[in-house]
Amino acid sequence: MSIVAYIAVMAVTTYLIRVIPFAAVRGKIKSRFINSVLYYIPYAVLSAMTFPAIFFATGSVVTSSVGTVIALLMAYFDLPLIVVALSSSAGAFITALIMGLI
């Protein structure tokens, strides 16, 4: 029975988080500062969730760092996502081979 209570509390919490901003703000937000903060929140949250996972994905911070640097460099030069992903994975794999981790 407690699992049903947990699910109900989670449902209410999720619903309130989504409804309260709509109920609190009736009109269009005109502040440039607030609009810019709201614009960048999804990117900040995604980065905060992704970067810790990147550095502990391979079991070695060194190999993960090499893969991340490769990915950032290739993304900087506007290469396609598949090229960035495959190259960074290959870089991390080759680094692990060189270090003798595999």
Q: Residue 9: its pLDDT value, please?
A: 95
- The pLDDT tens digits for 32-90 are 998 898 899 999 999 999 888 888 888 899 999 999 999 999 999 999 999 999 999 99
pLDDT tens-digit map of 8-20: 999 999 999 888 8
User: How far, in Å, CA of 4 to CA of 51, rounded?
Assistant: 34
Amino acid at 23: A
> Given a cut of 80, is residue 102 above it in pLDDT?
no
pTM of the predicted model over 0.75 = no
